[in-house]
Chain A
Amino acid sequence: MIVLLPILPEILLLALGVLILILDPFLKKDEARRPFLGWFTAVGLLAALTVSLLLARPADDPAFAFGGMVRFDWLGFVFKMFFLFAAAVTALFFMDEEKLNRRAEAYLLLVAAALGMCLMASAADLVMLYLAIETTSIPLYILAGFLRQDDKSTEAGFKYLLFGALTSAVLLYGFSLIYGLTGKTGLYELGVYFNNFNLIAMGITFLVLAGLAFKVSLFPFHFWAPDVYEGAPTPVAGFLSTVSKAAGFAVLARLFAVVFVWVSDDWSLILAILATLTMTVGNLIALAQKNIKRLLAYSSIAHAGYALVGVVAFYGLGLPSVVFYLIAYVLTNLLAFGIVAVVGRVTGSDEFPAYYGLSRRSAGLGLAALVAFLSLSGMPPFAGFVAKVFVFVAAVESGWVWLAIVGVLNSIVGLYYYLNVLKYMYLYRMENQDEDQHPVPVSRPVAVALIVLVAGILLLGTLFGPWFGLATYAAAALF
Chain B
Amino acid sequence: MSIPLSWYLILSAGLFGVGLYGVLARKNAIAILLSVELMLNAVNINLVAFWRYLDPAQMAGQAFAIIVFAVAAAEVAVGLALIISVYRRRKTVVADDIDLMKW
Contact = CB atoms under 8 A, between A and B. Distances in A.
Contacts of B47: 176, 179-180
A398 B74 CA distance: 44
A227 B36 contact: no
A221 interface: no
A180 B82 contact: no
Given A165-B33, A173-B46, A183-B54, A130 B82 contact: no
A145 B33 contact: no
A14 interface: no
Interface string B42-65: 110011011000110010110110
A154 B89 contact: yes
A172 B82 contact: no
A279 B78 CA distance: 33
Contacts of B102: 227
Given A158-B98, A169-B40, A173-B39, A138 B32 contact: no
A185 B60 contact: yes
Contacts of A170: 20, 39
B5 to A, nearest CB: 9
A231 interface: yes
Given A141-B78, A142-B78, A152-B100, A162 B46 contact: no
Contacts of B88: 148
A161 B61 contact: no
Interface string B2-45: 00000001000000100110010000010011001001101100
A131 interface: yes
A176 B19 contact: no
Contacts of A176: 43, 46-47, 50, 64
Contacts of B16: 173
Nearest to B88: A148
Given A141-B82, A155-B86, A169-B40, A177 B100 contact: no
Given A130-B71, A134-B71, A173-B43, A155 B100 contact: yes
Contact of B82 (A126, A127, A154, A226): A154
A166 B23 contact: yes
Interface of A: 126-127, 130-131, 134, 138, 141-142, 145, 148-149, 151-152, 154-159, 161-162, 165-166, 168-170, 172-173, 175-177, 179-180, 183-185, 226-227, 230-231, 285, 288
Interface of B: 9, 16, 19-20, 23, 29, 32-33, 36, 39-40, 42-43, 46-47, 49-50, 54-55, 58, 60-61, 63-64, 67-68, 71, 74-75, 78-79, 81-83, 85-86, 88-90, 95, 98, 100-103
